[in-house]
Amino acid sequence: MFSINTDYIKDHDNPEPYLRQIAEAGFSHIHWVHHWKGDFLYSRSEIDQIGRWLKEYGLKLNDLHATEGREKFWLSTEEYARLAGVELVKNRLDMTAVLGGDAIVLHVQPDGRDDNPQSYFWDRLQRSMDSLLPYAQERGVRIAFENLWPINHETLKQLLARYSPDEVGICYDPGHGNIVGNGLDFLEEVKDRLIVLHINDNDGSGDQHKLIFSATVDWARMAQLVATSSYNNKPLGMEVVMRNMGIDDAPTFLAQALETCARFSKMATDIQSI
């Protein structure tokens, strides 16, 4: 069983054609990434229609990339905007629960991208999490914070220390880790909190979201870490885009995505069987 992001071509407009192509390629699960950046709120009618499409195409929701609002932002310095951002994240928690996923992904970027944030940053985060965590737990959904760049490893480690594994985990993106350069060292430290994967590749120069094995991520070490992590009993999840692979045909791109994910999965399962 393998999962791929819904925005492999774009992250807006009618998602039905992309869901159909994902199913036809042989994927079993999706990582919902549509409208991941912005203030878009999903209505119940839209969520229900997405659920009908998933059922029609035999797909399941693996997890969901919650939105980083432009005006409604859960870490905003403006209190009204912070509260609106909390409501936006709750919208994605509702959507994840209704569609059967187990986690949402959030970005946490300290002010000024300082990896040793000031107390006022933690105050805003704490107030938002005090509202979000009970809401998430009532719905059986965990919150996964993603590794970003410039480096936010220390911030994430402090976050993990504040909350239990039942509440909060890590979404690891090996492409982001490759840009930073020591991402896999970070993953080794926190692999017991890994609950979401954004598997993709790049050459270290930018966030290219290429297919596995197409650039310079150390996939042998990545497989070792995933195989010995808390990420289990869950389909491997990719976050890749077609435009950076020089492929114009979606079925061809998706076929290659599935094949490379299966190869990586075998690397990890071979390690687990030793």
State the Cα–Cα distance between residues 189 and 43, nearest whole angstrom. Answer: 39
Q: Which strands, in side-by-side order, build the sheet including 236-237?
A: 194-197, 168-172, 142-146, 103-106, 60-65, 29-32, 2-5, 236-237
pLDDT score for 162: 96
pLDDT score for 234: 96
Q: Which regions in the chain score pLDDT beneath 50? A: none
pLDDT score for 61: 98
pLDDT score for 148: 94
CATH at 101: 3.20.20.150
Number of domains in the chain: 1
State the Cα–Cα distance between residues 35 and 155, nearest whole angstrom. Answer: 25
Which tens digits make up the pLDDT trace of 15-46?
Answer: 999 999 999 999 999 999 999 999 999 999 99
Counting every residue written for the chain, the total comes to: 274
User: Nearest Cα to 221, choosing from 262, 271, 257?
Assistant: 271
CA-derived radius of gyration, the chain: 18
pLDDT score for 151: 84
- Residue ranges making up the domain that contains 118: 2-272
Burial of 250 (0-12, 13-18, 19+ CB in 10 A): middle
State pTM to two decimals. 0.97
